[in-house]
Structure 1
Amino acid sequence: PIEAKRIAAWLPDEPMLYDKLDPLEYLEFVAGLWSVEARGAKRLAEDLLEGLGLWPHRRDRCEGFSRGMRQKLALAGALIHEPRLLMLDEPLTGLDAAAARQVKDILTDRVRAGATIIMTTHILEVAERLADRIGIIAHGRMIAEGTLDELRASIGAGEATLETLFLDLTSQAGRAA
């Protein structure tokens, strides 16, 4: 269990920060919890804050942050120990288009570096663009799972979008329930 915690990170839908800390203090604190070496943590914190557009706010207390700024800082906290497994619940909630692009780029970079990402999202275009494998849940149970092409083949849907697949599959599941 301890090793699993070391290699994993969780980003909840509602970010929970220490409001009296600024982003650098917050990331130093979180890095310390993960026993990240101080010099490496400082460099990584600076890189994450820069990459997420939070560098100008590095010394502002979190209590005044918008929903999107809080979401980006919480993601930085999840990434500070460079986990191999990221579990993200609606990571783009509250982000504007530019911030969402930054986050998607960071997640893509993490996958290229060998990380595995498990992500929930209601934004199907994001899942279609980023996911290698997709699971569709309806009424609390998994009704379909596979690559986009496998899901298309399962219902004979050729070049259908994930949105079309989702609607067809959940409609079928509703009729079967």
Structure 2
Amino acid sequence: MLQIRNLTKTYAKGGVKAVDNISFHVEQGEIYGFLGPNGAGKTTTIKMITGLLKQDGGTVRINGFDTLVDPLEAKSKIGYVPDNPQVYEKLKGVEYLNFMADVYRVTKTDRQERMARYLQLFDLEAAAGDLIDSYSHGMKQKIVLTGALLHDPDLFVLDEPMVGLDPKSAFNLKEVMRDMCGLGKTVFFSTHVLEVAERICDRIAIIDKGRIISEGTMEELRAKAGREESLEQIFLEVTGA
């Protein structure tokens, strides 16, 4: 589903390699956690996966489509939620959702059914007719989540998706992620909430200083550590924190 090969990104200022020749793959039906300290290269990697940033080297393939060769085909498979909700604040919630549905050519029947489902799930029904600039941070996060789900993406990419969410919405989002994987779709997400990653991820990669320093299931990560440890303990050890 998602194949990353020798992905590299260097920022001109200082010649710093934000992402340094990383490779990994994520299968269909898998929740893949992408963890690392601040500045490790997580968001840069996600922006290259989603096509918001062009890599200096390497390839990103989504369902076989190269993001540089077939960018529209690749992007059509993705639902993306950034770490900071990017949304048109002078639109009403429902106007923003219809705009997102238009972008992804979602049929009228499908958009109505999915809007109703996710607005109810995230407790946004009463606010859907309000301007987005009146929303709290958490409400903006939830309207962006809803917009990213409207076209039923094959690959759901989330960067710190739990930030600002109330406990009920965070729980419901985790259920959505698991349900999507049950349907053969794929979830790739970055988080600092290690307990969540340990509980729901099928596999986990830890990145530090632009390089992947550990990857595997929780059982494999514990085997590498040589003892039964929590993900938090493993993370602190491998990142030298």
- TM-score, length-scaled by structure 2: 0.68
Residues in 2 aligned to 1:26 and 1:57: alpha-carbon distance in whole angstroms: 12
User: Does residue 163 of the first structure (1) align with residue 232 of the second (2)?
Assistant: yes
Q: Is the 8 A contact 1:90 1:122 kept in 2?
A: yes
**How many pairs were matched up?**
171
Q: Is the 8 A contact 1:28 1:42 kept in 2?
A: no
Q: Is the 8 A contact 2:121 2:169 kept in 1?
A: no
Task: Please tell me the residue identity of whatever aligns with 2:235.
Answer: F
Q: Is the 8 A contact 1:36 1:81 kept in 2?
A: yes
User: Does residue 48 of the first structure (1) align with residue 118 of the second (2)?
Assistant: yes
Deviations along 1:128-166, one digit per CA (max 9) or x if unpaired, are 1111110011222210000010000012122x1100111
- Per the alignment, residue 181 of structure 2 pairs with 111
1:117 shift after superposition: 0.8
Q: Is the 8 A contact 2:118 2:146 kept in 1?
A: yes
Task: Please tell me the residue identity of whatever aligns with 2:218.
Answer: L
Residues in 2 aligned to 1:137 and 1:104: alpha-carbon distance in whole angstroms: 23
Structure 1 unaligned residues grouped into runs of 5+: none
- Per the alignment, residue 21 of structure 1 pairs with 91
Q: Is the 8 A contact 1:23 1:58 kept in 2?
A: yes
Task: Please tell me the residue identity of whatever aligns with 2:90.
Answer: K
134, 139, 155: which is aligned to 1:69?
139
Residues in 2 aligned to 1:76 and 1:82: alpha-carbon distance in whole angstroms: 10
User: SS at 2:146's partner residue?
Assistant: helix
154, 157, 160: which is aligned to 1:87?
157
Q: Going by fraction, where is strand more abundant, 1 or 2?
A: 2
Residues in 1 aligned to 2:168 and 2:238: alpha-carbon distance in whole angstroms: 32
Residues in 2 aligned to 1:51 and 1:82: alpha-carbon distance in whole angstroms: 15
Structure 2 unaligned residues grouped into runs of 5+: 1-69
130, 136, 150: which is aligned to 1:60?
130
User: SS at 1:118's partner residue?
Assistant: strand
Q: Going by fraction, where is helix more abundant, 1 or 2?
A: 1
**Coordinate RMSD, CA, aligned:** 1.2
- TM-score, length-scaled by structure 1: 0.92
- Per the alignment, residue 36 of structure 2 pairs with none
Structure 1 residue ranges (4+ consecutive) displaced by more than 2 angstroms after TM superposition: none
- Per the alignment, residue 102 of structure 1 pairs with 172
Task: Please tell me the residue identity of whatever aligns with 1:168.
Answer: E
Q: Which moved more, 1:116-125 or 1:134-143?
A: 134-143
Q: Which moved more, 1:80-89 or 1:2-11?
A: 2-11
Deviations along 1:29-82, one digit per CA (max 9) or x if unpaired, are 100000111121111111111111111111111111001100011011111100
- Per the alignment, residue 8 of structure 1 pairs with 78
Residues in 1 aligned to 2:184 and 2:93: alpha-carbon distance in whole angstroms: 26
Aligned residues with identical type, % of pairs: 42
